Structure 1
Amino acid sequence: MEAASATGVLSHLSLLEVQARSHKTQPQQQSRVKELKAKVEALRIQREQLKAEIETHKNLQKLRASMDKQCTHEEEEEEMDEDSQLLRLMARHTQLKDLLHAHHVIGGYNVMKTRQGKGICVSLATAYEGVFLETYNLEIDLKPTMRISRHNIPPYIPLNSLAEQSNLQTDLRTFLDTLSQHLNAFAGRKQQLKLVKELHKSVDVMESNVLCSILVLMFTVPRDKTAVLCTLDYTDHTRCLPTRVHFESEEKALPDSPEWKNPCRLLMETPVHKALIAMRKMGNIV
């Protein structure tokens, strides 16, 4: 009797244990089902987005093909709904990106045909610190041989020697790149000189030349009001920074003193108008 009772108790306990495990497993299964449903829904949304992108791409391809064959009439644009106008704008955007890429491939120069294709006109824009400055043009004859026929390049830029060094007949791109370097460096040096005169009234510009390859400035040392003559020599005409900086003063030891080593380095590595600001903050000049 006691054995039977014990067996019944054990069976009941076993049943309760099975039920408990079942209750624990059920929330986990429900959680897993919810997770899988959410993943399926996310994949379904991603599929729909990909379908929409593919359809849009197909429409853009069709519009690009039609835009390459014929111009768009304003009357047709007025009849288009908003979606069609948006697609056309997107197609125009991709077309302009392609043109910009092609423009970059040819060196970023604006080139126009002249005299029914017998020549080309190349425009070279100059800029410094994000500010566009002068634009120069040169017309090149293509036949019977390539030669520069007209231009407005400043006479102090060695145009002919640059054309000979770069072999204009076989490597026009190298010639234009080298010429652009010279023009932009000249424009940068000229702009720096202008900024020195505008921003630094206490600094006297004693000398400069038309190429802005020599610049002589006079500083005043605030401690004892000593005058310092500074010569900036730009022997590399493709750069905006000097290749040599030389100080002169009545106080002979001053230019070679340790306190003027840092200003010398600044002027060699920094545009002159910015170097002067730093020198004033350090107390080297008035």
Structure 2
Amino acid sequence: MEDARECLRDGVLNHLNVLEIEALELSRQQQLCLQQQSRVDDLRIMVDKLRAQKDQLKARAKTTMSLQQLKAVVHQRNEEFNDDISEEGCSMTAKSQLSFLMARKTQVKDLLQAHHLIGGYDVTETCRGKGVCISIATAFEGFYLETYNLELDVSRAIQICRHNIPPFIPLEKLAQVNLQTDLMGFLSTLSHHLNGFAGRRQQIRLIQEVLRDSVEVMESNVLFNTIVLMCADPEENGRAVLCTLEYSDLSRYLPTKVTIESEDKALPSTPQWKESQSLLLQTPAHTALKALKMKGQIA
């Protein structure tokens, strides 16, 4: 009987020992899995960073290549043009005239190619191939407005020589950000700023032309990023209502904040004017005000 008990105890102890070993092995495997998962996560983060760096390098290389191609095209065409002019003492015979016209045709084709290389902006050669003049057109609601010009020196590092960009556009700040590294990005950002300004100014012009009997422009600045409009509420015996439009993002033509004010402090909180405030945030000012006039909300 005693032997049986001894055998049973040894069997239980052995079984518990086996279970303890299995538990330790399972714990070790779990820790190993957690370490591997942490390592995998670290590798994924590293891969994402490397991909982002690769994309940046690709964009930089593409911009540099486009600029180099542009410079090479302009330089080559300038040399060919000068060679044609100097050939045979610049005698304007039929042969030299034909060569001159062929060179000009090739030059125009290559300038069109350069036009596409820098994103569709109009490009003109200046300073005998040492520079280019880029034209940026502005438009609003399908109508072309002003065109601005920017002359760049591309003989060495890209530099802005002359321009007619309005002084309140942060041209130098934009140039410091990415003129040397991302010409396309610079031109795109500058174009957005110019079109945002042109769109805001055009809205004021349309308000003054179409809604001059209903809306008065009380205040605006040269950048048109703060505009105060006064209109009359017909339900309040012609009581004046002030609408202040603020544009914190200068590349947009829609306001980022609209404030409604009136002598009646409760009026801006009414459902009608809350809806009008939302409309002014999402729609050009002249369009929103015409809609309010049609609904009879302003006189």
Task: Give 1:170 shift.
Answer: 2.1
How many residues in Structure 1 have an aligned counterpart in Structure 2?
190
1:184 aligns with 2:207: no
1:208 aligns with 2:220: yes
Paired residues for 1:1-286 under 5 Å: 103-104=115-116, 106-166=118-178, 168-201=179-212, 202-224=214-236, 225-286=238-299
Question: Which amino acid in structure 2 is aligned with residue 171 of structure 1?
Answer: D
Task: Give 1:106 shift.
Answer: 2.7
Q: Residue 143 of structure 1 aligns to a residue in which SS?
A: coil
Task: Give 1:226 shift.
Answer: 1.4
Q: Residue 240 of structure 1 aligns to a residue in which SS?
A: coil
Task: Give 1:116 shift.
Answer: 1.4
User: TM-score when scaled to structure 1?
Assistant: 0.63
CA displacement, residues 61-112 of structure 1 (integer Å, 9 cap, x when unaligned): xxxxxxxxxxxxxxxxxxxxxxxxxxxxxxxxxxxxxx98974553110112
User: TM-score when scaled to structure 2?
Assistant: 0.60
d(CA) in 1 for partners of 2:115, 2:281: 35
| 4+ aligned runs moved over 4 Å, structure 1 | 99-105
Greater relative contact order: 1 or 2 (C-alpha under 8 angstroms, separation 6 or more)?
2
Asked if structure 1 preserves the Cα contact closer than 8 Å seen for 2:233 and 2:298, the reply is yes
Quote the sequence identity (%).
58
Bigger CA radius of gyration? 1
Question: Which amino acid in structure 1 is aligned with residue 204 of structure 2?
Answer: L
d(CA) in 1 for partners of 2:112, 2:256: 36
Question: Which amino acid in structure 1 is aligned with residue 297 of structure 2?
Answer: N
More helix by share: 2
Q: Which consecutive residues of structure 1, in runs of 5 or more, have no partner in the other structure?
A: 1-98
Task: Give 1:145 shift.
Answer: 1.5
Q: Which consecutive residues of structure 2, in runs of 5 or more, have no partner in the other structure?
A: 1-110
Q: Residue 255 of structure 1 aligns to a residue in which SS?
A: helix
Q: Residue 245 of structure 1 aligns to a residue in which SS?
A: strand
Distance 1:101 1:196, change over 3 A: farther
Q: Residue 215 of structure 1 aligns to a residue in which SS?
A: strand
Residue in 1 that maps onto 2:63: none
Question: Which amino acid in structure 2 is aligned with residue 145 of structure 1?
Answer: A
d(CA) in 1 for partners of 2:189, 2:205: 25
d(CA) in 2 for partners of 1:232, 1:101: 42
d(CA) in 1 for partners of 2:153, 2:115: 21
Question: Which amino acid in structure 2 is aligned with residue 277 of structure 1?
Answer: K
CA displacement, residues 222-271 of structure 1 (integer Å, 9 cap, x when unaligned): 11211111100011111110000001111000011112111011100000
Distance 1:198 1:136, change over 3 A: same
Residue in 2 that maps onto 1:79: none
User: What CA RMSD, in Å, does the superposition of the two structures yield over aligned residues?
Assistant: 2.1
d(CA) in 2 for partners of 1:126, 1:107: 15
CA displacement, residues 25-73 of structure 1 (integer Å, 9 cap, x when unaligned): xxxxxxxxxxxxxxxxxxxxxxxxxxxxxxxxxxxxxxxxxxxxxxxxx
Residue in 1 that maps onto 2:106: none
